[in-house]
Structure 1
Amino acid sequence: MENDDCLCISFLISKLANNLCPTDSSALSRAVDIMQKSSNNGARNYNSNTFQFRWIMELEKQRKSEHITILRKNINFLSKSLKHPDSLFYILDESRQNSHQSELPQLFSIPNLMPIHETSLPSDFIPVLQGMDGIDFKWSIAQKRFIYRTSISPNLYLITTQVGMIGCIVKSLNNFLDSDQENGISHQNTSVVIRDMLHRHFLFVASIQQKFSTLTAQQLYSLLLSPEIELLKAATIICSNLTHKKGCDLYNTLNTLSLHGDKNISTVATQMKEKCFEHIDSLIRTWASHGRVSDPYSEFFIKCDESIRQCSKWWQEKFTFIPEEKIPQSLNKDLLQKIFNSGKILNFLRNWAEPVNLTIDDSLPLDQFIEISTRETNDLFMNLMYKENKLMQVINDIHDYVLLQRGDFANSLLEIDHSNITRRLTNLIEIFSNHVIREIDFKIKNNDWQLVYQAFDPLSAIFGKVELDIYKTASQVLLKIKRAEYALVHADKSTRQLSVVFYEMLHFVQIIENFINIHIIKTSYKGFLEVLENPKSFDDILEAHKKHTKNIAIGCWLTKTGSSSRNALYRILENLELAVTSPAALPANYRLFKELVQKFYDTIYNQRPIGKELARPLLAMFRFIEPKISTYV
């Protein structure tokens, strides 16, 4: 290049074409064509610095420093020698194949060229692009934007506005990052996306700063019209909707924004949502494998009531879900319940049995992880209840000895003097059950006999206060009936009148007794056993037990709506005991018996769901009862 040939314009054009388009054989001919057709056309005016900037950056990237000097010399010579050199540079630039735009990230590649005007750029642009104050370009607290405090050239209005807008975006995102410490770990995870975006933006600003002295306003403006800047704008919009939100509430907001119609908002929100869920996912896996989590910022969707310490209240009240609208929207109800129960079982074992920590592969998808946890925790819990604490035996003991379904036991109990029942009860039950049952106790309250079952931990999680109260009150009703039956069976029947009247009274008692035992208790118990023999979860057992005790409460008139029927029955039973103890007043007691039976019939007849079923056999047996017309369908 040091000989006179270097001065030949055609030679320089051919060398430029060869250097810039080494694999394109038609590049030179196209360059010549454009020179011939457009050499005198000044309609389009491009700045040669644009091409020089782009090509030099490419050569620097390829580490061809020796070519840079040659390129600058040739471009400078052509610029001085040709009337419209930019037309040649433009066609050569357009004809390049497989070329890289610049050393800047691809997102910031310079768009199509536009006419520009030479104006030096203020150095304040660089700090403002990073969200910081420049010397004259500073943040206004009152106006909440960057204000240029000195006059600038009209040619810089557009680029100054763009730089100020980007500065506002960066400052807003930095403020969002500063708040993540107080909003929890999920918020900090979400901030990782913003930090990464800002990091790439700062690298971009650094690359601009290196070439800042050679950039024109139009070139800088073109660089700032990049997709990455649009993503930063979207991030600012998203962050403005995340104020004071954390945990599941934060995740749900991001999940909603990920469905936004704007592609940029949707893209950024999706990335932030995924990072946010990482912490929630970690909490879920820890809860489902250890039964407890470290949650200092209250970001988990399961909350704990530390005041609950009794085992009987523990399973139902210790842990609860946060409000439904704040639970992660991506988790279905079935999965949520499995998560909830798995951790609750492990926590239960830690408090009321031996602590267990599950070892499950964390690389598994969440649903598979929870399925394994559910299966293993259910096995552990069923083993605790069925094998270690003999749940089936306890249920059977309550059925036989508290609800008096062992008739021989009930008869033997009534043969004991009531003052000795408490002392002899355990031995008596052991005779019939062949094992010691110390949980059943006998009590007398206002001349009413009761059999009380006391559940010990951890079985008290099943037999709560409500259920045990139902068993106790039901035993009171059944013992009243059984005592009346026992008294009538052993009553004086020395005369025909006594025999006939007592037989009729006994038959009434047996109708009531058989109805409660067969239609209520045994029918409900059969359904309860079907669940106990093959439960899917501990909640199934609890639900079945609640249903069983509810059926007993309704059938024995233990509810508020059944109190009138129960009181009517009690008056009849008191009349029967009086008739047995006062044979001389039998005619008067018999008349009262018929009146009370009629009132009892009238009371139960329209009572759902059992009244009509009991009314039919009473009406068939006792002809003195006046039938009623049903008031319900």
Structure 2
Amino acid sequence: MIHDILLSLSNPHSARIPIEDLMVSDAISMFLHPCEKKILEEILKIIREHREIATFTRNYGLNTKAGSLDLEDPLQRGLYLQALASGIDNVLDKYLESIAKLEKDYLQNPSHSLLFIYHKVDTFQPLFSFLLKVVRDLKMQRLHGCAILQYLHQHMMHGDDQINKAVKMIQSSVNVVFLKQLTHWLLYGKVLDTYGEFFVQCSESRNSTLGSTSAGSGRHTATTLSDATSTYAEIWHYEICYEFLPHYLPPSWAEKVLFIGQTVLMFKVDASKKRKDAHSWHDSEKHNFGESLYNEKEHVFFKMIQELQYDPRLNVAHYERVIDEIKRYVTERLSQIAVDQADLMKQLKLIKDFFLLGRGELFLEFIKRTHSINRSPVTDATVRDLVKAFDSAAHSVNVTEDLEQFSFTIPKERIDNDDLCNFGYLQYITLQYKINWPLHLLFSPKVIERYNELFRFLMLIKRTQYDLHMIWCFHRENRVHMTNVKLLQLRNQLMFLVDNLQYYILIDVLESQYSILMNTVLDSTDFEHIQRAHCIFQANVLSLCFLLTDEEPSKTNVMNSIENPVLTILNKIFHLCDEFCNFAKTAHSTLTEQENTDYNLLEKEFEILIDKLLNLLIGLKAGSTSTPLSQFLLRLDYNHWFSTRKEEKQT
């Protein structure tokens, strides 16, 4: 019997437990005292717990092939699960060593009683109960990937020294997988994640902006956003899956890890491609650029990461210190390349000149040349006409030096969307920008899309202003002021509103915010600070231009916004300006009865809209960024003309 007990204790993978046959036989009552029977039941309980734990390690351990076992409810396989099973297996090794020693002792002294065996194995009973709880929790909660690390961290502190050591051993085994994945991402830009367990995941949804179609001629046809960013699009396919991030590691830490890996991916781009894109660099600077981000210092950072494996308490401060040190090196090196070699200052100036209409004469000429196709249906021929008009406008105002980095396109999804308001090609147009390496980290596809949102809005204002000025010229040439004062008053009010809106955006908002951004770039040696300053710049500009919404940039339509009431009113005013221009072109010198009715409707609508706009701006003026809005409100309601007029009509 003793031999069967020892055999059952040491062999958890046998098809049956030999001692169980004895428990169900009648002989046990004849040969064993009730106390011995109870001891035997306790030993059998330990054997069963050991077998259940050992079965788990056999099913999910390192030497198990997927699909080799017929499990009723298998867990999702992964490296972390394998490491956990391996760690538990290592913990059980001490138990098996104890059983082997017990068997040796019994052979030397066969007089040892059943109680002696129970006394030796009972010391492992608390450990087995804990390991069994871990196994059952794992199955019940369906834990996968880094969630296993989180579970172990919650149970790492235990009063029982034996269990405490076991948890640290298991945790160390699982942590090896985590640190291996972390090392490959930080140093080589690779995610070794066959089973989708790491908190940095690759998502193809980041590639949504690359599906647009473009048309053009000459060099501009080849310089498209898709062509310029397709090589670098991989860096934006990676994102943080916070459900896989262990809770003891803060989200800010994960964002730093993501940024470092994206930077490494940027440096892994083919050398010939990098040099081709870096056309603005001096030849003397090219040979100073190394192919590796770390300048052959990978072994230093590798050692720092691996040292975390020997931290038995998983001190989060150590993790943060290592990542901060790596990030500091990466951001300083990136800042040096971006400012000194990629000429960040010039690229920001180009962004301002083109996306933010800094070269106003270029886009005014473009609007003049495309005025005849304002309301034409958008087709491939329309796109070609727009590209030709842009080229022609650039040459006429002598803006050709930096034009090779920009081109027009109309994304296919915007053309197919019939829900957009009818503002002609302005509701579709997208300005594409060929980004200098490695500034793709600064100008992500989302950032460029937000710039395009601003660009379409500014172009709409400029075209509205141009249309009103053309009506002014028409009235002057035809001496309309001699017969129709009411029509001129409404025209002047509309011109006054649009001119002040443009001045507010271009001077009060863009110039002031751009100056702040440039000062930060000049004073900073850390690319992260530059990146943060640029994000703040873009967010402030979008907010002060009434374009900031909760929608995705690719889904936002500046021509029709429900979430932003100020933008909604401005769009209605732009529509009103359109209707007024069409009305003024065809109206008689002395308005007919029908024309007078139409005019009164336009005037009434304008009064309602300007009243709503002033009320909203007064409410927004109480915000933290109220200074530009206060200036805009002061200019718009100069001498309280609009508000006084409203009060006079009410009385």
TM category, shorter: 0.5 to 0.7
Q: Secondary structure at the match of 1:300?
A: coil
Q: Letter of the aligned partner of 2:189 in structure 1?
A: G
Q: CA deviation at 1:178?
A: 0.6
1:348, distance to aligned residue in structure 2 (A) = 4.3
- Which consecutive residues of structure 1, in runs of 5 or more, have no partner in the other structure? 1-120
How many aligned positions are there? 503
Q: Separation in 2 of the partners of 1:625 and 1:222?
A: 94
In structure 2, relative to structure 1, the CA distance for the partners of 1:438 and 1:368 (3 Å cut) is closer
Q: 1:198 Cα shift?
A: 2.7
Query: Does the alignment pair 1:198 with 2:92?
Result: yes
Tell me what 1:559 maps to: 561
Task: Provide the rounded CA distance (Å) in 2 between the counterparts of 1:320 and 1:339.
Answer: 11
Q: Distance in 2 between matches of 1:368 and 1:624?
A: 59
- C-alpha distance in 2 between matches for 1:386 and 1:427: 30
1:572 and 2:577 aligned: yes
Matched, 1:277 2:279: no
Range that drifts further, 568-577 or 335-344: 568-577
Matched with 1:341 is: 259
Partner residue of 1:138 out of 18, 22, 45: 18
1:545 aligns with 2:538: yes
CA contact 1:128–1:163 (8 Å) conserved in 2: no
Change (3 A) 1:574 1:180: same
Counterpart of 1:45 in structure 2 is: none
1:115-126 equivalent positions in 2, closer than 5 A: 122-126=2-6
Is 1:168 the equivalent of 2:177?
no
Q: Which amino acid aligns with 1:480?
A: T
| Mean Cα deviation higher: 436-445 or 167-176 | 436-445
Alpha-carbon distance between aligned partners in 2 of 1:137 and 1:594, rounded to the nearest angstrom: 95
Judged with a 3 Å threshold, the aligned counterparts in structure 2 of structure 1 residues 469 and 315 are, in CA distance, closer, same or farther, namely farther
- Secondary structure of 1:331's match? coil
CA distance in 2, matches of 1:528, 1:186: 44
Higher normalized contact order (CA 8 Å, seq sep 6+, divided by chain length): 2
Bigger Cα displacement from structure 2, 377-386 vs 242-251: 377-386
The amino acid of 1:339's aligned partner reads: V
Q: Does the 8 Å contact 2:200/2:240 carry over to 1?
A: yes
1:456 to 420, 423, 434: 434
In structure 1, the residue corresponding to 2:246 is in which secondary structure?
coil
For 1:320 and 1:442, locate their aligned partners in 2 and report how far apart those are by CA, in whole Å.
28
Q: Structure 1 residues 449 and 402 mapped into 2: Cα distance closer, same or farther (>3 Å)?
A: same
Among 315, 318, 336, which residue is 2:237 paired with? 318
CA-CA distance at 1:287 after TM superposition = 0.9
What are the superposed Cα offsets for residues 182-215 of structure 1, whole Å, 9 maximum, x if unpaired? Answer: 5333233333443333323223222222231523
Contact 1:132 1:138 in 2 (8 A): no
Following superposition, the deviation at residue 436 of structure 1 comes to 3.5
Name the larger-Rg structure: 1
Shift of 1:146: 8.9
Aligned equivalent of 2:247: 329
Matched, 1:436 2:403: yes
User: In 2, Cα distance between the equivalents of 1:578 and 1:294?
Assistant: 65
- One-letter amino acid matched to 1:378: T
Deviations for 1:261-318, whole angstroms, at most 9, x for unmatched residues? 5554444223322321121111112111111122223221222124654459958962
* Matched-pair contact (CA < 8 Å) for 1:159–1:221: no
Q: Please, which of 125, 149, 159 is the counterpart of residue 251 of structure 1?
A: 149
Superposed CA RMSD: 4.5
Other structure's SS at 1:453 match:
strand
Per-residue CA distance 1:408-458 (angstroms, 9 max, x = gap): 5566667768578434123245x3585435514499986666875212364
Deviation at 1:552, TM superposition (A): 2.9
> Whole-Å Cα distance in 2 between the matches of residues 315 and 137 of structure 1?
55
Partner of residue 528 from structure 2, selected from 511, 523, 536 = 536
Unaligned runs of 5+ in 2: 67-76, 211-228, 275-290, 309-318, 373-387, 416-421, 549-557, 622-628
Matches within 5 A, 1:112-511: 122-132=2-12, 138=18, 147=23, 149=25, 150-151=27-28, 152-154=31-33, 156-181=36-61, 183-213=77-107, 214=109, 215-217=111-113, 220-221=116-117, 223-224=119-120, 227-228=123-124, 230-243=126-139, 245-260=143-158, 264-306=162-204, 308-309=206-207, 310=210, 311=229, 314=233, 318-324=237-243, 326-350=244-268, 356=292, 358=294, 359-361=298-300, 362-364=302-304, 365=308, 366-379=319-332, 381-382=334-335, 390-409=343-362, 421-428=389-396, 431=398, 435-441=402-408, 452-456=430-434, 458=440, 459=443, 461=445, 463-485=447-469, 488=472, 492=476, 497=481, 501=488, 504=492, 507-511=496-500
**Greater helix fraction, Structure 1 or Structure 2:** 2
What's the secondary structure of 1:454's corresponding residue? strand
Q: Secondary structure at the match of 1:492?
A: helix
TM-score by length of 1: 0.66
Offset at residue 175 of structure 1 (A): 0.8
Normalising by structure 2, report the TM-score.
0.64
Instruction: In structure 2, give the amino acid aligned to 1:393.
Output: K
Matches of 1:301 and 1:328 in 2, distance apart? 8
Give the 3 Å change call, closer, same or farther, for CA 532–255 of structure 1 in structure 2.
same
Structure 2 residue identity aligned to 1:470: L
Shift of 1:406: 4.2
Q: Deviations over 1:531-571 (max 9, x none)?
A: 65545267623464344334335398863332333222442
**Following the alignment from structure 1 to structure 2, what is the Cα–Cα distance between the partners of residues 308 and 414?**
33
Paired residue secondary structure (2:18): strand
Q: Could you tell me the percent identity over the aligned residues?
A: 14
One-letter identity of the residue aligned with 1:559: S
Aligned counterparts of 1:621 and 1:538: Cα–Cα separation in 2 = 41
